Amino acid sequence: MRTEIKTKIEIEKQGVLFDIDEVVDSGLLTTAQLQEYDHVIVAYSGGKDCTACLLHLLEAGVEKDKIELWHHDIDGREGDHLMDWPITTGYCEQFAKEMNLPLYYSWKVGGFSREMLRNDSLTAPTRWENPDGTIGQAGGSRGKRGTRMKFPQVSDNLATRWCSAYLKIDVCSAAIRNQERFNNKKTLLVSGERAEESAGRAGYKIFEPDRADNRDGRTGRHADRYRPVHRWTEAEVWEIIERWKIRVHPAYYIGWARVSCASCIFGSKNQWATLNKVSPDHVKKIAEYEKLFGVTINRDKRTVEELVNEGTPYNGISNEEQVAQSMKKEYNHSIFMDEWELPAGAFGESCGPA
């Protein structure tokens, strides 16, 4: 059950102070418990749920000087731009700038494409940004050689849906384990999975030790995983975003209900039809790989071209400004809106992990 705690707190937004009612779920960390952490890392994709996580932390009184945004760059920095929205990194940078928070990138060298095209080879190293501006690197020199030469499978099994495991989860863990600044410290890793999204995610714990934890080992690295919006409905996510008047990622205004990859393996026929209007080059590349692999990106074996022909583009395709913005690399709006509006994709088809 949700419990309202009638404690007024002040949040600073663009230099303006305003009052809100702090709302805390039973089972969530209290403000006092949150204050015990030295570092609070928010896994920030640019999507609504991770945005809600950050806003919740701020409303719970977590100091900004403890918070870091981490973005796992799916396509990497050395490969082609195959999967993600071109604007995603630009949006994340603008969000971090206006929220006055640091943003650090981490990625698998060569990104999605290199991992997908592994052919009797090792997985690539992981790289990440350090606070001093240097780039750290780990892995990629040992292990078993392997071959993929196909898309990740539409599954809740992370061994076969390898994009989540290799390009997000493992990347984050490597960056934590290989930075001495987290040794002998307490670190909270915050992510935005919600039970409402799928049966699989409904089984996630709100709070548990993170896979990078080593509190009883030589490094004394205490790392916990926290999912503060796990029990929230989508309506509650949009409520906190509206309260802060946040302008969300352009894909939501086009009609997407969730922001993952533009060319997501879970994409519906309507999403593929819409993407073909927004960026036909994305669809063309996927079609070319389907022919190379002899395997489609969709589980029921329809090709991406068939999905495009069967689907109906979202009505949000008429928002020419947001369509154009989604294909740019630099985000040229403020993330705050004077008059907030619910995006076209809200409460639409989520098409995410099972």
Q: Is residue 16 part of a domain?
A: no
- Give me the domain span that covers residue 74: 30-252
How many CB atoms sit inside 10 A of residue 295's CB? 14
CATH of the domain at 238: 3.40.50.620
Does residue 62 fall inside a structural domain?
A: yes
Residue 98 belongs to a domain: yes
pLDDT at 158: 81
Query: Mapping DSSP to helix (H, G, I), strand (E, B) and coil, where does residue 34 land?
Result: helix
Q: Tell me which residue of 78, 69, 183 sits closest to 140, measured CA to CA.
A: 78
Residue 314 lies in a domain: no
Report yes or no on 263 lying in a domain.
no
Residue 325: predicted pLDDT: 97
- pLDDT for 354 equals 55
Q: Tell me the DSSP string of 234-270.
A: HHHHHHHHHHHTB---HHHHHT-SS-S-TT-TT--HH
The pLDDT of residue 1 is 31
What confidence score (pLDDT) does residue 5 get? 32
Residues 333 and 73: their CA atoms lie apart, in Å, by 21
Number of domains in the chain: 1
Cα–Cα distance, 175 to 177 (Å, whole number):
6
Q: What is the pLDDT of residue 8?
A: 34
Residue 156 counted as domain residue = yes
Per-residue pLDDT of the chain (354 residues; tens, 9 = 90+): 333 333 333 444 444 333 333 333 446 899 999 999 999 999 999 999 999 999 999 999 999 999 999 999 999 998 788 999 999 999 999 999 999 999 999 999 999 999 999 999 999 999 999 999 999 999 999 999 999 999 998 887 888 899 999 999 999 999 999 999 999 999 999 999 999 998 888 999 999 999 999 999 999 999 999 999 999 999 999 999 999 999 999 999 999 999 989 999 999 999 999 999 999 999 999 999 999 999 999 877 899 999 999 999 999 999 999 999 999 999 999 999 999 999 999 999 877 665
Which pLDDT value is given to residue 350? Answer: 76
Q: Is residue 1 part of a domain?
A: no
Between strands 103-108 and 67-72, the pairing is parallel
Structure tokens at 145: 């050689």
Structure tokens at 120: 């009797």
Do 277 and 313 contact (CB within 8 A), yes or no? yes
Rounded (5°) CA angle 66-128-258: 75
Length of the chain: 354
Instruction: Give CA–CA dist 93/82, Å, rounded.
Output: 20
Instruction: Give the per-residue pLDDT at 13.
Output: 41
Predicted confidence at residue 18, as pLDDT, reads: 35
In this structure, is residue 143 part of a structural domain?
yes
